Amino acid sequence: MKKICLLTTGGTIASAEGAAGLIPQMDGAEMLRLIPALTGVCQIDCQELMNIDSSNLQPEHWGVIARKIVNNYDLYDGFVISHGTDTMAYSAAALTYMLKNLAKPVVFTGSQRPIGQADTDGKANLLAAFRVAAEDHFGVYLVFANTVIHGLHAKKLYTKHLNAFGSINAPIMAHVAGSQLIWQVPVSQKPAELLALRDKMDQRVFVLTLTPGIQPQLIDMAILAEYRGIIIEGFGAGGVPNQNCERNLLPAIERALKAGVVVACVSQCIYDGTYMDCYEVGILAERMGVVSAGNMTLEALLAKFMLALGECSDPGEIRRFLRDNTYGEVI
Ligand SMILES: NC(=O)C[C@H](N)C(=O)O
């Protein structure tokens, strides 16, 4: 029988009513006791990493989770991480990049309703996550509402609905149907090299959501605050305002690039991503050196950017890192 390690981090799944609303309180063993159906799926050990709402989860916590997996890698066939849903997509993306040459399943899950509640989705999600972690498929996955999503393509779409996550710009990897898993992809070839931890991250990435009326000074503020990377959440295919004198963002972007800041653009649209080679509002920005993030979600780009800044110092090298498509993530 496969041996799986549950790493707990908190979230609604572990929450109960506290003095000021829901707050994570339950430990892993308590959660597992509520799911008798797990007997027979795999053998489970449990390690508590933290017990926090995922709104409080910081990039440093990604390092804690990644290091725990690396240090226990040889002891287990796979890992399940219980996690709050609010920032789970960021953590899944970060771990996908941080665990180089991963050849075992690392499965994120959580719930919209506490596991102690009668109408919880937590038991079904945890059970499905353990089923996925006991498979031969490997990589970082997010398992929720019977769907298995690639770690780089998950996005939380609903605040309440139980089917909270979507697979963005990539097909779902598998469906969970009772005890059966229906994979849409074949098992990949195992990487030839050993697992390697990449935990050198620089968090100085500023995210600017464009709105009609946005002031270019916000970009100058980011330069002054010594951000090394700027993600512009552009309009549609990657549109950046370039008219109307004082609202033209291009001169401010130019100042950022001259200061050595790397600028990338993701789309505000959930699906299809950027294609900045179509409209003048995209082409002029891309020509200046703005990296078009293609099919990447903001969550995936943010994690990749932090890693690029941590591992590289030269802006050209950082841009190449962002464009690298090891996981097929940039169109
Ligand atoms: N459903 C959830 O888990 C939401 C919770 N606020 C969290 O992200 O920790």
Which of 9, 15, 50 best tests ligand 1's pocket when mutated (most atoms within 8 Å of CB)?
Answer: 15
Whole-number pLDDT of residue 330: 82
Q: Which residue(s) pair with 107 in the sheet?
A: 80, 141
CB 110 within 8 A of CB 85: yes
pLDDT at 233: 98
Would 328 be classed as within a structural domain? no
Distance CA 268, CA 116 (A): 36
Centroid of ligand 1 to alpha carbon of 129 (angstroms): 17
* Residue 90: inside a domain: yes
pTM of this prediction?
0.97
Query: Are 55 and 187 in a shared domain?
Result: yes
Residues 6+ apart with CB under 8 A from 36: none
Ligand 1 atom closest to Cα of residue 112: 1
Rounded to the nearest angstrom, the distance between the alpha carbon of 279 and the centre of ligand 1 is 38
Distance from the alpha carbon of residue 243 to the mean position of ligand 1, in angstroms? 41
pLDDT of residue 329: 84
Q: Is residue 40 located within the same domain as residue 177?
A: yes
Residues 246-293 pLDDT 10s: 999 999 999 999 999 999 999 999 999 999 999 999 999 999 999 999
Q: Is 159 annotated as a binding residue?
A: no
What is the number of domains present in the chain? 2
* Ligand 1 center–CA 265 separation, angstroms: 28
DSSP 203-245: --EEEEE--TT--THHHHHHHHTT-SEEEEEEBTTTB----SG
Are 229 and 185 found together in one domain? no
Ligand 1 centroid distance, CA of 55 (Å): 7
User: pLDDT at position 112, please?
Assistant: 98
pLDDT digits (tens, 9 = 90+) for 60-96: 999 999 999 999 999 999 999 999 999 999 999 999 9
Alpha carbons within 13 angstroms on the beta-carbon side of residue 277 total 4
> What residues are in contact with ligand 1 under a 6 Å CB criterion?
11-12, 53-55, 84-86, 110, 112
277 is in an annotated binding site: no
Same domain, yes or no: 123 and 36:
yes
Kindly report the length of the chain.
Answer: 331
State whether 9 and 119 are in the same domain: yes
ipTM of the complex: 0.98
Atom of ligand 1 nearest to the CA of 55: 8
Burial of residue 220 (CB within 10 Å: 0-12, 13-18, 19+) is middle
79 contacts: CB under 8 Å, gap ≥ 6: 4, 5, 6, 7, 69, 72, 104, 105, 106, 107, 133
Q: Is residue 331 part of a domain?
A: no
Same domain (yes/no): 258, 115: no
Select from 172, 197, 222 the last residue of a domain.
197
Using DSSP bridges, classify how beta strands 262-267 and 291-292 pair: parallel, antiparallel or unpaired: parallel
The residue whose C-alpha atom lies closest to atom 7 belonging to ligand 1 is 84
Please give the residue range of the domain that contains residue 103. 3-197
| 111 CA: nearest ligand 1 atom | 1
Q: Looking at residue 179, what DSSP letter applies? A: T
Query: pLDDT value at position 150?
Result: 97
pLDDT at 165: 98
In terms of domains, do 23 and 122 share one? Answer: yes
Confirm or deny that 55 is annotated as ligand binding. Answer: no
329 falls within a domain? no
Q: Are 245 and 134 within one domain? A: no
> Which residue spans within 54-201 are E strands per DSSP?
78-82, 99-100, 105-109, 139-144, 147-150, 154-156, 165-167, 174-177, 180-183, 196-197
Q: Which atom belonging to ligand 1 lies closest to the Cα atom of 164?
A: 1
Positions annotated as catalytic residues are 12, 85
Atom nearest to 53 CA in ligand 1 = 9
59 with 99, same domain?
A: yes
In a domain, 330, yes or no: no
Residue 308 lies in a domain: yes
Rg, Å, the chain Cα set: 21
Nearest CA to ligand 1 atom 3: 84
Cα 145 to averaged position of ligand 1 atoms, centre (Å)? 15
Nearest to 101 by CA among 9, 193, 231, 28: 193
Residue ranges in the chain whose pLDDT is less than 50: none
What pLDDT was estimated at residue 244?
Answer: 79
Q: Which residues pair with 271 in a beta bridge?
A: none
7/151 same-domain check: yes
Average pLDDT over the chain, rounded to whole?
97
pLDDT of residue 331: 67
For ligand 1, atom 1, which residue shows the shortest CA distance?
Answer: 112
Give the CATH number for residue 50. Answer: 3.40.50.1170
Asked if 9 and 120 sit in the same domain, the reply is yes
